Structure 1
């Protein structure tokens, strides 16, 4: 299984969209002190949305949708509820 996930940094009001076969492990990496990527600057992160797919290509397609303006509106809707 593959997952598309949305992370939220409440401290910085930032969102991050990604995909992974193991979203909980991926969250640990995003929140790790050893993380050297973009997400390090906005720790801590929490998963606010998770979708499951049977194939990697489906998860990647959904990730791309969530990164679009319509997808960002969907995410901001999640945050306002």
Structure 2
């Protein structure tokens, strides 16, 4: 899966699961503020990621994720790690 596919897949489930406005999902936008995430929403986000991409997410992984670009990069890196195993 290339970066473009990761972004399209991610944005599709964010729009569906979190009723996000697709136009607001820009690489430099703040993930938490744009999606209005609370602690329970993060749990939902973890479940959606695991179901869509097939890897386990550790809650502490989100500490370094501020923007959508950070999020896309995280997914891309985890998918790359998964392929190497």
- TM-score over 0.5 (shorter chain): no
TM-score, normalising length: structure 1: 0.30
Q: Larger helix proportion, structure 1 or 2? A: 2
TM-score, normalising length: structure 2: 0.29
